Structure 1
Amino acid sequence: MRLAALSVALTLVACLKESSDDRPTKAAVSAAAASASGLPVIAPAATQADDGQWTMPQKDYANSRYSSLAEITPENAKNLKIAFTFSTGILRGHEAPPLVVNNTMYVVTPFPNYLYALDLTKEGAPTKWRYDPKPSASAQGVACCDVVNRGAVYSDGKIIYNTLDGHTVAVDAKDGHEVWNTKVAEINLGESITMAPLVAKGKVFVGNSGGEFGVRGFLAALDEGSGKIAWRAYNTGPDSEVLIGPQFKPYYSQDKGKDLGVKTWPGDAWRTGGASVWGWLAYDPELDLVYYGTGNPGPWNPDQRPGDNKWASGIFARRPSDGQAVWYYQWSYHDMFDYDGINEQVLLDMQVGGQTRKVLVRAERNGYVYVLDRATGEVLSATPFGFVNSSKGVDLKTGRLIYSMDKEPKLGQVTRNICPSSPGMKDWQPTAYSPRTGLLYIPHQNLCMDHEAVEANYIAGTPYVGMIAKFYAGPGGNRGVFQAWDVVNRKEVWSIPEKFPVWSGTLVTAGDVAFYGTMDGWFKAVTAKTGAPLWKFKTGSGIIGQ
């Protein structure tokens, strides 16, 4: 569950001293400089040049959440002060980051999904306009985990985002009038949309939520100009509906074969098998591949769905033009613990075995930091980034997660001390990567659980779970961690234990400052290299946003 909180948009300014000649001021690190240092670089083709803007939640196609602005440093971060605050008036969990385009900030709220435009040229950032998409109130009944929204994207003069009742809308960025509005999901089936869209090559990519309601997950592509649906790829079912054809060349043998989206399920269980798309997407323009994760299979009770349950709890690489699948990898086959595979993948170019490889790096819910070849789907490494006992590792020859069978859920029986718990070691809350430090900054949980499998019955539009779970703090007693991870040497560099799960996103800058928030309301700045505290500000609610 996510904390229902009043969200305020915070803009911060540093009271700066005169810049010294040797301190970086704008694009503080180039790909060439980072490469020369031996550190992995953010995939060059997937980055943005103008760092005065923030046009998508993840900053760039690579999911870096790295700002090359360098004015805020460890030396002056203590001088940060509030420039303005803005209350949306909605007392629910705010997860969407604001966008900044030219001199306007755009803020999307949880249900009822208002879009605000704030004028950054004027004192106090007054509201320029508000757009109301008027979503159906009944959508609130099929939101499993608060009525959240994870953000909008700016493209070609439009702000594009999703509404809880399954629509995607495009709004004119200048005056707030609706350009188009397309129904993508069906709330009567338990579908909603909470994810942030991705725009690439003239298409808007959108997926559904509802894995706890027996939906059938999909990724859809809409024409950016008209909003018309160009294609839809399901994540369960026959190859023709999953858009698996001659281009599909998965790396591992268990992912090869015809109609595995049907054959790895009992009977027609694939029709209610979940695998929804409510997390983060990435795009590599050079390889021309869109990457996205698929959610948990339904129901949670694994006894009701023997088999690998393709294509749930995994990652697809697809062509944006027609949706054809190119490769797939399954993080958690026959997912027994609700380890949705929807987390963000950070696209990097890095040295592996003496060669520069195009990789994606991902801190996964099952407790491992994975490094995959993003052209082929080969697992190059998988390393625990916290305490894991639900599995024993990942077999790099087969790519298979090695489950600890003594932790397997059993019908009518409580299995105790399973780590990580069902929200995973890390859930949707996104990481950030700095090419200056070579570190991935991971906000995550330290939770274990007891759970019991129970029989689940499918009724359209109602919960379809089949599990009773109790969560508690993992080893050490803290429920959360903010961690810096060396992606090359596959090890923790530093970490900060927190009393509660760290459910905020994070940001790292060229000034070597990392930002994150806590569920007891602290917005914090720390030194990116060492984790030393620099500054904190007490907000009016727990922080679960980006």
Structure 2
Amino acid sequence: MVRAGALLGLALLLSSAWAQPAPQAAATAPSLPSSAATAPARDDADGDWPLAAHDLANTRYSPLADITPDNVARLQPVMERATGAQRGHEAAPIVAGGTLFIATPYPNELLALDLTRPGFPLKWRFKPHPDAAAQGVACCDVVNRGAAWADGRVFLNTLDGQAIAVDAASGRELWRTKLTDIRRGETITMAPLVARGKVFIGNSGGEYGVRGWLVALDAATGKEAWRAWSTGPDKDVLIGPSFKPFYEQDRGVNLGESTWPGQAWKQGGGNVWGWVSYDPVLDLLYYGTANPGPWNPEQRPGSNHWTSGVFARRPDTGEAVWFYQWSPHDLHDYDGVNENVLVDLPIGSKDGTADGRTRPVLLHPDRNGYLYVLDRATGQVLSADPFAAVTTTLGVDLSSGRLRYEPSKAPRAGKPVRDICPSSPGAKDWQPSAWSPRTRLLYIPHQNLCQDATTYTTSYIAGTPYVGADLHMKPGPGGHRGEFSAWDPVARKKAWVIRENFPVWSGALATAGDVVFYGTMDGWFKAVDARNGRELWKHKTASGIIGQPVSFRGPDGRQYVAVLSGVGGWAGAIVSGGLDPRDSTAAKGFVNAMRDLPQATRKGGAIHVFALPR
């Protein structure tokens, strides 16, 4: 049976004076070229921000350069407006056609602000009225990671599993498609991706034994075009004769069944709640799959395909082209849903060293602590290097692609395992990095957390937690809990790092002005020099920032920067959920590492927009 303590901890997870941090900039970055490395499919000519990730390549890079290291200290707030929601605000605002759109956490309202008028007044507010029962089965707060704009429509997902298209001009609902069943614990928190006339959406719910999938809907009608499951027989996973994985361990028939005991794949997780990328040149869609269920790995012997990995698929049919598994038989809830950033870099030799040949690659900072560089045409691992403290594994064998586990950190039922680094939220969770083609650096917001864990046998009951682990998280080496790092994927090392008191749970934004933005959980919105990490400017918000900053050009020609504040998510559940700091098991042990957060910030959501003075 599931322990009562585990049920309480997960239920809590689901359901003043401001302390200033003391970040420390590390070594100055080396001299970097200003010439751009290319990335596919950018829709940025007019300065809009139509997707949560800005572009199909998931770069979160703005080509606007009015704001620079020389003038960013003059940045001023030009608008602040409450959203009306109180839980974690993880979304990116999106901008198109002179309108700024905001997707809130539950109840998942969509706000449209008119950028053509002074003060950016509200144009309309769309209320989808999701089922309130979804709040009780949502893992890691009732968050929403953003909407998407395409062809005059805004696409929104709701917590209870509905995909909705809204007319961008009027806020009128155009279609609505129900995708999930909350009675099984199945929800949706991800931001959709729109490409090739389709809307791509995945589900959440691995902590309830929900089987993962990615679905493609017709953008005009909402009709389902295809659905690719993450576990089960090849016909369900849409694996056919075109499937050519690079590594032997990913080749075989019906691995989505045979690498699981019995029928365990039916409750196997592998949900798709992270980010989707698309390369129009290769015509490949990329996305990660989440952890297998339950967290207790002894209950699911085998590699547990196709969880904790990355798929490349054809967007028109869903047909799988290749797959690579970041964490086979995932031992620590590391998942694999983090962003896959598509860039072209001079990395060409088999061992991953630079040989001057430019090739299309995929950059992936995984929760297991490694920064992967993959050939995105084939799935070959070109390099995999730790970007955070790692005790659970011994590296990645580039010849086989296999992650080498440290045996002493493997969970055993009833036996406490100490100093597991990274902790279950990973070296970096969902919070997305940003790529600058000018500096050729990836800017990574992440955690510095470890944990002690004990696993136990659990049972599957539809709609109830299916976890089998007790965790106690704690600060990692050095005592700080967060970092903001710049990673050089060609040199395979950090260029610089900023240490933060709390986990850096916000997204990152890189700009052509060589300024990078991110937020902190105690409410500081910061601008740093893209080349050396030097802090240039900061602004205090009433609630902590876990949203994704964006930049856009307004109808008046000015460059703006916008971000949502509103602490919450798994890391901030102690505040947004009002959890007792004395309960170290709450939020599956995250509270143990965040007892002081309620003294540093408060809950409440708002949109903040900044610009240089006229």
* TM-score normalised by the chain length of structure 2: 0.83
Q: Deviation string for 1:327-355 (max 9, x for gaps)?
A: 00000000000001000011011111331
Q: What SS does the aligned partner of 2:290 have?
A: coil
**1:360-379 map, 5 Å:** 360-379=362-381
Paired position in structure 1 for 2:478: 476
Query: For residue 380 of structure 1, what is the aligned residue in structure 2?
Result: 382
**Aligned residue type for 1:403:** Y
Aligned to 2:445: 443
Aligned residue number for residue 283 of structure 2: 288
Look up the SS of the partner of 2:298 in the other structure: helix
Q: Is the 8 A contact 2:33 2:439 kept in 1?
A: no
Cα distance, 1:393 vs structure 2:
0.1
- CA pair 499-274 structure 1, distance change in 2 beyond 3 A: same
Cα 1:241/1:419, change in 2 over 3 Å: same
Is 1:65 matched with 2:60?
Answer: yes
Task: Give, in whole Å, the separation in 1 of the partners of 2:38 and 2:106.
Answer: 34
- Contact 1:51 1:68 (8 Å CA) reproduced: no
* Residue 425 of structure 1: aligned partner: 427
The alignment-based identity, stated in percent, is 62
Provide the secondary structure at the position in 2 that maps to 1:483.
strand
Partner of residue 41 from structure 1, selected from 20, 37, 53: 37
Question: Which position in structure 2 is the counterpart of 1:113?
Answer: 108
Give the counterpart letter for 1:118 in structure 2: L
- Kindly indicate whether residue 253 of structure 2 is the aligned counterpart of residue 258 of structure 1: yes
SS of 2:400's equivalent in the other structure is coil
Which runs of no fewer than 5 residues in structure 2 stay unpaired?
1-9, 15-31, 348-354, 549-614
Deviation of 1:86 (Å): 1.2
Shift of 1:51: 4.3
Q: Could you tell me how far apart the structure 1 residues matched to 2:69 and 2:396 are? A: 38
**Rounded Cα–Cα distance in structure 2 between residues aligned with 1:342 and 1:46:** 21
1:241 aligned to 2:241? Answer: no
Instruction: State the 1:465 CA deviation.
Output: 0.5
Distance 2:477 2:488 in 1: 22
Give the corresponding residue for 1:180.
Answer: 175
- Report the secondary structure of 2:235's partner residue: helix
Alpha-carbon distance between aligned partners in 1 of 2:488 and 2:245, rounded to the nearest angstrom: 28
Deviation, 1:49, is 3.8
- Seen in structure 2, the aligned counterparts of structure 1 residues 46 and 3 have a Cα distance that, compared at 3 Å, is farther
AA at the equivalent of 1:316: F
Equivalent AA in structure 1 for residue 37 of structure 2: V
CA distance in 2, matches of 1:468, 1:116: 39
Where do 1:268-347 residues align within 5 Å?
Answer: 268-347=263-342
Q: Which residue of 2 aligns with 1:9?
A: none
* Contact persistence 1:51–1:69 (CA under 8 A): no
Q: Paired residue for 2:529?
A: 527
* Alpha-carbon spacing, 1:386–1:291, altered in 2? closer, same or farther (3 Å): same
Contact in 2 for aligned 1:51/1:67 (Cα 8 Å): no
Aligned to 2:81: 86
C-alpha distance in 1, partners of 2:37/2:202?
A: 29
1:135-150 equivalences under 5 Å are 135-150=130-145
| Aligned 8 A contact 1:42 1:64 in 2 | no
Q: Matches of 1:37 and 1:84 in 2, distance apart?
A: 36
Instruction: Give the letter aligned to residue 468 of structure 2.
Output: G
Match of 2:455 among 434, 453, 456: 453
Partners of 1:76 and 1:219 lie apart in 2 by 43
2-side partners of 1:415 and 1:436: how far apart? 43
3-state SS, counterpart of residue 271 of structure 1 = helix
User: How far 1:432 sits from its partner (Å)?
Assistant: 0.4
For residue 209 of structure 1, the aligned residue among 193, 204, 213 is 204
Contact kept in structure 1, 2:508 and 2:517, CA below 8 Å: yes
2: distance between equivalents of 1:51 and 1:256?
44
Question: Once the 2 structures are TM-superposed, how far is the Cα of residue 102 of structure 1 from its aligned partner?
Answer: 2.0
Q: Structure 1 residues 40, 240: closer, same or farther in 2, change over 3 A?
A: farther
Provide the secondary structure at the position in 1 that maps to 2:85. strand
Q: Name the residue aligned to 1:11.
A: none
Task: Tell me, yes or no, if the aligned pair for 2:192 and 2:200 is still in contact at 8 Å.
Answer: yes
What letter corresponds to residue 174 of structure 1 in structure 2?
Answer: A
1:191 corresponds to 2:186: yes
2:102 maps to 1:100? no
Structure 1: runs of 5+ lacking an equivalent: 5-35
1:162 aligned to 2:164? Answer: no
Question: Shift in Å at residue 42 of structure 1?
Answer: 3.6
Q: Does 1:132 align with 2:132?
A: no
Q: Shift of residue 386 of structure 1?
A: 1.4
One-letter code aligned to 1:60: D
Q: Work out the CA distance in 2 between the residues paired with 1:75 and 1:228.
A: 50
Would you say the 8 A contact 1:367–1:424 is kept in 2?
yes
How many Å apart are 1:141 and its aligned residue? 1.0
> Do the aligned partners of 1:3 and 1:544 also contact (CA within 8 Å) in 2?
no
CA contact 1:42–1:62 (8 Å) conserved in 2: no
SS in 2 for 1:89: coil
Residue 40 to residue 343, structure 1, CA distance change in 2 (3 Å): farther
Is 1:223–2:251 an aligned residue pair? no
CA distance in 1, matches of 2:474, 2:92: 29
Tell me how far apart the structure 2 counterparts of residues 394 and 161 of structure 1 sit (CA, whole Å). Answer: 38
Q: Please name the residue that 1:52 is paired with.
A: 47
| Alignment-derived partner of residue 514 in structure 1 | 516
> In 2, Cα distance between the equivalents of 1:468 and 1:222?
38
Q: Deviations over 1:200-224 (max 9, x none)?
A: 1111111000010100000000011
Cα distance in 1 between the residues matched to 2:69 and 2:449: 31
Q: Is the 8 A contact 1:485 1:493 kept in 2?
A: yes
Separation in structure 1 between the aligned mates of residue 35 and residue 487 of structure 2, nearest angstrom: 13
For these two proteins, the number of residue pairs brought into alignment is: 515
How far apart, in 1, do the equivalents of 2:167 and 2:13 lie?
31
Q: Distance in 2 between matches of 1:101 and 1:365?
A: 32
